[in-house]
Amino acid sequence: MQGEAKVSETAVITEWSFLGMPLFIEPHGAGRQWRWLLTCPWLSLVISRGTFNDVIAQVRFSSEYLWSQPWTGDALVKVHDFLMQVFGDHIHLQVSSVDLCADVMGYDFSLANYQQDFVTRARKQSVIYGADAVNLDSRTPSYLRFSSSSSPISCRIYNKTQEIVQKSYKTWFYDLWKQERSGLYAGSWDGESAVWRVEFHFKREFLHNLAVPIESPYDLLNQFQSLWMYAIGSMEGDKDGFPDGWLRYVMPTEDSNRDRWPLHPAWVVLQSAFTEMVEPGLGPVVRQRIREKNLERGLAAIIGYSSTMAAWNGGDYAAPGADLSLTLQWLYEHGQAYLEAKDRDFLAEVRRKQLLYGSEGIE
C-alpha cells in the first residue's frame, strides 16, 4: 500500500478504520525508526519492524479526538480495541508521553516578569513575543516555556485565544469554555476575554522514574491529579511548610527567600484543576466547528485563487461589470478538461476527500 502511495504521490486508503474513519497510509514514514505512517482525523499511527526495543508501533491521539470523548478512559479503550484489530490481542501498551493542561480566564500572564515571578526547577526558560489580532507590532509575551520539549518534564504557558486565531483554528474550544461551570469557580467564558493555557509535558523518562512508575496507560488514568500537583504544586503546600511544585507563579515580597513568596492568585486557581470530573465531551460540536472553519478557509482560498485567475486571463474577465460567475464558468470548462487529461473523476476525488477528512455524511 505504501508503494501505491509513492506512485500516486498521495495518501492511499487502507483496509483499517477507527470509529468509522478510514486510515490512510502516507507515501513516507516518520523518521528512521518508523517506516510506515497511517493517519485519520482522530489519530496517527506509526509502525516499525520492532527491531528497536521491541516497540512495533506508536499511536498519538489528536486533541480533537481526546476532547470529543466523555473521559480519557473511553478514548483509551477505543484505541486499544482498534490496535488489537491491527496487531492482535497480545500486545503490551506503554505510556510514551502525556500532556496535561488547564485553561484560565481573567489573568494576563503577559504581565508577569517571567524571570522573577516564576520559581522553577527548570534549567532553561524562554519567552516568545507575539503579535495579536489587534496590534501586529506587539512586543507582549504570548508564549512562555520552561525547559525544552526534549526534557523529562517541561511547561508551556501561552495565550490560547490568540493561538486559535493565528494558528490552530480550533474554534470548538469556544464551546467548551462557554459551558456553565459550577462550584468554587462558577461561570463561563464571556466570548471576549483572553484565555491562557498552562500545559505540562511529561515524557516516559519522567514517568518511569517515579517512586511508583507509570508504565501502563490504564495506570495513568488514576494519576492525572498527582502529576498535576507535582508539576504545579498542591493547595496544601509541602510538608516542610514551604510551597511545593516543579513550577510556581509567585508574587514578590521583601523576603530574600523566593520559596516563601506567596502564590499568585492565578496559580491558586490552576491548582484546583483535575480535582473534579470535566463535563462530557463535545464530539458533535468539535466536528461541526472543524467543518465550519474548514469551509471558511476553503472559501477564502477559492475567492483568492479565482480573483488571481481572472487577473491572469484579463480581457472580459477583468472588464467593468465582470463578476465571479464568469471566472467560475471558465473554471468549470477548463477544470473538466484538466480532469480528463489526468484521467481523474471529480466525484471520485470528492469521495476520497470525504473519507480522508472524515466528513462523510455531514450535512
pLDDT value, residue 234: 81
* Residue 312 belongs to a domain: yes
Residues in CB range of 307: below 8 A, 6 or more apart: 327
263-303 pLDDT, tens digit per residue, is 999 999 999 888 765 444 555 555 566 567 667 767 888 88
pLDDT value, residue 201: 95
**β-pair partners for 125:** 146
Instruction: Tell me if residue 46 falls in helix, strand or coil.
Output: strand
299-317 pLDDT, tens digit per residue, is 888 888 888 888 989 998 8
Q: What's the total number of domains in the chain?
A: 3
* Residue 182 belongs to a domain: yes
CA distance 21 to 257: 55
Q: Pick from 232, 249, 281: which residue ends a domain?
A: 281
* Residue 362 belongs to a domain: no
Same domain, 81 and 146: no
Express as a percent the part of the chain with pLDDT over 90.
36
Same domain, 124 and 261: yes
Three-state SS annotation for 8-72: HCCCEEEEEEECCEEEEECCCCECCCECEEEEECCEEEEECCCCCCCCCEEEEECHHHHHHCCCH
Q: Pick from 281, 307, 328: which residue ends a domain?
A: 281
* Residue 290 belongs to a domain: yes
Contact 221, 124 (CB under 8 A): no
* Residue 363 belongs to a domain: no
Contact 165, 133 (CB under 8 A): yes
* Residue 118 belongs to a domain: yes
Terminus-to-terminus CA distance in the chain, angstroms? 31
- Residue 21's nearest CA partner among 349, 358, 261, 305 is 358
**Distance of alpha carbon 360 from its chain centroid, rounded?**
23
Residue 303: what residue type?
A: I
95-131 pLDDT, tens digit per residue, is 999 999 999 998 999 888 878 888 888 777 676 665 5
Q: What is the mean pLDDT of residues 348-360?
A: 70
Same domain, 61 and 10: yes
* Residue 102 belongs to a domain: yes
Same domain, 126 and 263: yes
CA distance 93 to 107: 39
Same domain, 128 and 49: no
How many other CB atoms are found less than 10 A from the CB of residue 172? 24
* Residue 353 belongs to a domain: yes
Same domain, 243 and 277: yes
Q: Which three cell numbers, joined as nine digits, stand for 205?
A: 523518562
Q: Pick from 34, 64, 93: which residue ends a domain?
A: 93
Same domain, 189 and 205: yes
Instruction: Tell me if residue 253 falls in helix, strand or coil.
Output: coil
Same domain, 48 and 83: yes
pLDDT value, residue 193: 92
79 pLDDT above the threshold of 90? yes
pLDDT value, residue 270: 92
pLDDT value, residue 198: 96
Alpha-carbon separation of residue 29 from 25, 26, 39 (angstroms):
9, 7, 11
Same domain, 122 and 219: yes
Q: Which domain holds residue 328?
A: 284-357
CA distance 145 to 199: 10
Same domain, 26 and 120: no
pLDDT band at 246 (very low <50, low <70, confident <90, very high): very high
The residue that leads in pLDDT, 331 or 277, is 331
Same domain, 334 and 268: no
Q: What is the mean pLDDT of residues 349-362?
A: 66
Checking 288-295 for CB contacts under 8 A at 24+ apart, the result is 288/172, 289/170, 289/171, 289/172, 289/174, 289/175, 290/41, 290/64, 290/170, 290/172, 291/359, 291/362, 292/171, 293/169, 293/170, 293/171, 294/357
Same domain, 125 and 271: yes
* This prediction's pTM: 0.74
Alpha-carbon separation of residue 292 from 156, 224, 279, 358 (angstroms):
28, 32, 23, 14
